[in-house]
Structure 1
Amino acid sequence: MSFRRVVALAGLLAVGSVQAETAASHAVVGDAKAGETKAAACGACHGMDGNSTDKQYPKIAGQQADYIARQLALFKSSARNNPVMLGFASGLSDQDMHDLGAHFATKQATAGNGDQALKARGEQLWRSGDTKLGVPACMSCHGPAGRGNPGSGYPQLAGQWTDYVVAKLKDWKSGTTWGEDDRAKIMPDIAKRLSEQDINAVASYAEGLHTAKPVVTAAK
């Protein structure tokens, strides 16, 4: 797939994602206070405020509420394969998922520390991509500051652990997909174009980004 087709596909998926997210948001609205009472089990891996201390688990503080709800639904259906998360998500209702998303969306992700030795290449990939490799700029979906795109359903990556982002990019490089989730469908083709060094560089750059305010997309 050419670079232009990769970029065009990203645009088409974003349009479809906006329509899907709009319909979903009208169907279920999360309650942050209700989510707080349901979040105790999440704290063991993700931290009570959504900032995990173990780098194999993602920070979910400040993540978009609808994104969290969608990932929980993917875990529950096993479209996104994770035996541990399947166990937690299997008993959740749609309302539970949106409540949890709303709760963690009100939190703030802690600032990360990117590797300065990898910054130049990571910044290039994030802000400009690499036309020779056919890799679009990461910020075209995840935003210049890594805050993501709530309307299109692309997640916040600012401050996320390098180790976690590297692991996901390597999964995608090996061809892993999350069922029919269109936001993840585009990633395997992009990740396959990245070297291990590039994966480490862009993941490190994402960790070095952080937001001043949490992204709140659902009612408190």
Structure 2
Amino acid sequence: MNSFFKNIALVLGLVIALGTIPFAMAMGNAAEGKVKAVQCAACHGTDGNSPVSAFPKIAGLGEKYLLKQLEDIKEGKRNVPQMVGQLDNFNEQDLQDIAAYFAAQPMQLTGSEAIAVRLNNGESVDGLIFGQKLYRAGNMETGVPGCMGCHSPTGQGNAPAGYPRLSGQYPEYIEVQLKAFRAGTRTNDGDTRTMRTVASQLSDAEITAVANYVAGLTE
């Protein structure tokens, strides 16, 4: 079995396994979370739609995913320098409430741009077409599975499974995260290492193209 089909099996197996787990209902109180999230507004906006690409949009990312990121950042499992100390005074219920609040907010689309990307062989290709192909079908030659297997065909993610929405996110932020997974500087994708496995096989051109494409995906 070549690396492509091994990765397809990995992703499908994870999706099937997650689908059999009785996920808990939302634990947070969004109304309480709105009050507690006031200090988040400076970077992420009052409704989770960050005004600048230096900070990710966290509106509509899914409560399970958001809660995990907050917990991981507080516990030091995910290194985000701008967040150091920001969560120290929040307990578990606070984090659940904040996650519930931002998960309930609609994300504003960033949109894609018409770009060209240069492949490793020197060829320049249409970035949107290339990004769409990679997102939907992956790259069989390098063993990269399509992103939509976990993040859905419309980029809305899978909230119960903890897979975040990508549609509408800043492409610059997605690009930074993919490169962090590839470099191994972001490691909080769990024991399955799904994102690190996929990102390790992505070229710079592929990362730029797919990040730009998914930023403009709509339902």
Structure 1 equivalent of residue 3 of structure 2: 2
CA spacing shift, 1:148–1:179, aligned 2, 3 Å: closer
Superposed counterparts of 1:1-220, under 5 Å: 2-18=3-19, 22=23, 25=24, 29-117=27-115, 118-179=127-188, 181-182=190-191, 185-211=193-219
- Cα RMSD after superposing both structures: 2.0
Percent identity, please. Answer: 37
| TM-aligned CA deviation for residue 21 of structure 1 | 7.2
Q: Is the 8 A contact 2:155 2:214 kept in 1?
A: yes
**TM-score, length of structure 1 as denominator length:** 0.86
Distance 1:155 1:148 in 2: 5
SS of residue paired to 1:89: coil
Select between 160-169 and 113-122 the one with higher mean Cα deviation. Answer: 113-122
| TM-aligned CA deviation for residue 17 of structure 1 | 4.2
Q: Is the 8 A contact 1:109 1:210 kept in 2?
A: no
Which structure 2 segments of 5+ residues have no match? 116-126
- Rg larger in structure: 2
Runs ≥4 residues deviating over 6 A: none
After superposition, the C-alpha distances for 1:94-123 in whole angstroms (9 at most, x for unaligned) are 211111111112211111221223110010
Letter of the 1:10 partner, please give it. V
Greater fraction of residues in helix: 1
**TM-score, length of structure 2 as denominator length:** 0.87
Q: Is the 8 A contact 2:181 2:187 kept in 1?
A: no
After superposition, the C-alpha distances for 1:165-194 in whole angstroms (9 at most, x for unaligned) are 0000111111234347247x2112211211
Letter of the 2:79 partner, please give it. N
Distance 1:98 1:2 in 2: 38
Which structure 1 segments of 5+ residues have no match? 212-220
Distance 1:8 1:187 in 2: 14
SS of residue paired to 1:39: helix
Select between 159-168 and 54-63 the one with higher mean Cα deviation. Answer: 54-63
CA spacing shift, 1:97–1:210, aligned 2, 3 Å: farther
SS of residue paired to 1:80: coil
Distance 1:164 1:49 in 2: 18
How many residues are aligned here?
207
Q: Is the 8 A contact 2:3 2:142 kept in 1?
A: no
| TM-aligned CA deviation for residue 20 of structure 1 | 6.3
